Amino acid sequence: VDEFKRGYFPESCPPSSHVTLTFPKTDKTRGDVTVHWMDGGIQPERPAELGPNELFGDGGNGTLFVGTKGKMMASTYGADPRLLPLSRNQEVHVPQTLARVPGQANGHYGQWVEACLAGAGKMPVSSPFALAGPLTEALLMANLAIRGYDIQQPKTTGQGFNYPGRGVKLLWDNAQMRITNLDDVNRFVKRDYRAGWKLG
């Protein structure tokens, strides 16, 4: 049997990952907010508040919110949110304050098309760029951490490589759209287009 050797494929994603994102306190939070993104079968510890036969998330995917007064979980894409323990859902009733998009996921696609046809800013949407943009930026930041993990630099001895993106906390400056403490990672943020091709 051959000895296992770790593959090095910097242009592809790993089979699984766990990235921690920390968002600084704002006027809408009591402190920093920490988000753990897990994929490829990695999951958080099963909440103690769940009974032995109660499903965690939707069985394979989901979201777990840990707050100061308790926990809440949801299925894929935030569907079916519920408090933990599940018995609390009989006690707590939160009034619906936001309109729901008819047709669920397909309704969102339809809303997008209708807004495009109406023209920029002429139709309210449930997920405007002002909300969706920062969310996308945050998740792309997680991708930068994953890509940065495999950046190689030859050792000065000429033998082997250093990996400067491992074991470090990347600091993101969203105004400048760049990592401030590991410049090598910024090559994944923007690219230099060849002559005759540019954006904007």
**Does residue 49 sit within a domain?**
no
Backbone angles phi, psi at 133, to 5 degrees: -60, -55
Total structural domains within the chain: 1
Flag whether 22 is in a domain: no
User: d(Cα 49, Cα 55) in Å, to the nearest integer?
Assistant: 11
Q: Sort 115 into a burial class: Cβ within 10 Å, 0-12 / 13-18 / 19+.
A: middle
Residue 196 reports pLDDT greater than 90? no
**Domain annotation covers residue 128:** yes
Question: Where does the pLDDT of residue 83 fall: very low under 50, low under 70, confident under 90, or very high at 90 and above?
Answer: very high
Amino acid at 113: V
Backbone torsions φ then ψ of 89, nearest 5 degrees? -65, -20
Q: How far is CA 141 from CA 16, 40, 165, in A?
A: 16, 18, 13
Say how far apart CA 62 and CA 43 lie, in whole Å. Answer: 9
Given this model, what pLDDT does residue 178 score? 94
**pLDDT bracket for residue 72 (50, 70, 90):** very high
pLDDT for residue 77? 84
Kindly state whether residue 18 falls inside one of the protein's structural domains. no
Give SS3 for 195: coil
What pLDDT digit, counting tens, does each position of 135-181 carry?
899 889 999 999 999 899 999 999 999 999 999 999 999 899 999 99
User: 185 is in which domain, residue-wise?
Assistant: 104-190
Task: Tell me, yes or no, whether 64 lies in a domain.
Answer: no
Side-chain-side CA neighbours of residue 53 (13 Å): 0
Q: Which residue has the tokens 């997008």?
A: 112
The answer to the question of residue 97 being in a domain is: no
Q: Is residue 7 part of a domain?
A: no
Residue 51 has pLDDT above 80, yes or no: yes
Residue pair 47/39 in contact (Cβ under 8 Å)? The answer is: no
pTM over 0.85: no
In a domain, 92, yes or no: no
Provide mean pLDDT across the span 100-117. 88
